[in-house]
């Protein structure tokens, strides 16, 4: 599939410098691009490759100065990185839109309601009373349990499992191997040392524009709903426990875990391998550093914490500096002890 510079400029609202008829059929990094490929330049560290790249078309910032002799057609935009991401997104949409119809073998319950222009891949299982919206793509080996609902323009990648009664919004992307709606970790200790399972009768609700990476797990609520709010982005290998609420536009990096009933606010950034205990609240705009262990609520918006247990970021950095100085401090203390001992001896 080929696109001309004029078509690309129209898609991203850019201004052309060079031949508008020049076309590309694939993408590449600016340092590796060849003729017929499109690249972008957003980081000044890669500016030198403007003079050596073979890319036919390059997306660059409006502010970028040209210091090299180049043959590529340029498309200037306010933000090259954002425009390139938008272009990739549109390209991906065009590719997935070509998928439609129901492949066999697959099972679709007679009571399921399937929207228009839906793709259902082979070996998918669609349970009773499932609702799938228009233009949604359900890739092979996906499971949708009874009464599950999926909105419009959503992409469910291979091997995803969405348990009964769970709700997925529109324009959501769920990557392969993720499980939505497995039982929350609820057990009541008994007098004899055993544990009685607490039935998990709630569900998971995922709002619009959410993206969830591969092999993530989001547990259903004991009662009510585990909530992933609009625009949240979850990386691979994340554990979200029962009755957790993840706020709008919150981003959680890989291998993080959130314990039950914790409420995470809007626009929170959580680094990889962070752990958050249950039944606490994280204020809007908080930043939790990678591998931090959060054991108490973060009450003030836009706070930054690090460490385990996590505490205020700048104080943690000062503590690290003090820790590195401990050997020198120990030496000084021993010298002072000797001095005091000598002074006391002189008095006697």
Query: Tokens for 231?
Result: 């625009």
Residues 6+ apart with CB under 8 A from 194: none
Q: Is 3 helix (H, G, I), strand (E, B) or coil?
A: strand
Which residues sit opposite 38 in a β-bridge? 27, 57
C-alpha R_g of the chain: 27
CB 258 within 8 A of CB 239: yes
Which residues sit opposite 138 in a β-bridge? 120, 156
Give the chain's count of helices (H) and strands (E).
4, 40
Q: Which of 157, 175, 242, 279 is catalytic?
A: 242
Q: How far apart are the first and last CA of the chain?
A: 96
Residues 6+ apart with CB under 8 A from 169: 151, 154, 206, 207, 208, 209, 210, 230
Residues 6+ apart with CB under 8 A from 211: 172, 173, 174, 175, 233, 234
Cα torsion 82, 285, 222, 167: sign: negative
Torsion of CA 219, 158, 85, 20, to 10 degrees: -160
Active site residue 242: yes
Q: Which residue has the tokens 């891949």?
A: 121
Residues marked as catalytic: 242
């Amino acid at each position: 599939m080929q696109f001309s510079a004029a078509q690309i400029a129209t898609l991203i609202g850019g201004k052309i410098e060079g031949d508008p008829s020049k076309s590309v059929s694939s993408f590449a990094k600016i340092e590796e691009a060849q003729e017929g490929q499109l690249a972008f330049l957003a980081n000044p560290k890669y500016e030198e490759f403007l003079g050596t790249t073979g890319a036919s078309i390059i997306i660059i910032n409006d502010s970028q100065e040209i210091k090299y002799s180049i043959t590529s057609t340029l498309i200037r935009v306010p933000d090259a990185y954002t425009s390139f991401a938008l272009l990739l997104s549109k390209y991906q949409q065009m590719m997935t839109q070509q998928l439609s119809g129901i492949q066999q073998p697959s099972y679709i319950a007679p009571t399921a309601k399937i929207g228009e222009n839906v793709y259902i891949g082979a070996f998918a299982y669609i349970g009773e009373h499932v609702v799938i919206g228009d233009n949604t793509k359900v890739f092979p080996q996906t499971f949708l349990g009874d009464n599950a609902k999926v909105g419009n323009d959503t992409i469910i990648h291979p091997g995803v499992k969405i348990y009964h009664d769970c709700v997925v919004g529109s324009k959501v992307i769920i990557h392969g191997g993720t499980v939505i709606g497995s039982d929350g970790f609820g057990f009541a200790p008994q007098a004899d040392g055993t544990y009685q399972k607490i039935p998990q009768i709630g569900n998971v609700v995922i709002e619009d524009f959410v993206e969830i990476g591969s092999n993530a797990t989001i547990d259903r609520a004991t009662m009510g709903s585990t909530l992933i709010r609009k625009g949240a982005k979850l990386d691979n290998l994340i554990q979200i426990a029962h009755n957790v609420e993840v706020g709008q536009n919150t981003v959680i990096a890989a291998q993080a875990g959130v314990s039950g009933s914790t409420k995470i606010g809007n626009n929170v950034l959580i680094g990889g391998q962070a752990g958050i205990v249950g039944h606490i609240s994280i204020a809007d705009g908080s930043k939790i550093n990678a591998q931090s262990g959060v054991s108490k609520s973060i009450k003030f918006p836009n706070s930054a914490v690090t460490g385990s247990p996590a505490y205020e970021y700048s104080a943690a950095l000062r503590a690290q500096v003090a820790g590195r100085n401990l050997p020198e401090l120990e030496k000084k203390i021993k010298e002072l002890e000797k001095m005091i001992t000598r002074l006391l001896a002189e008095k006697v």
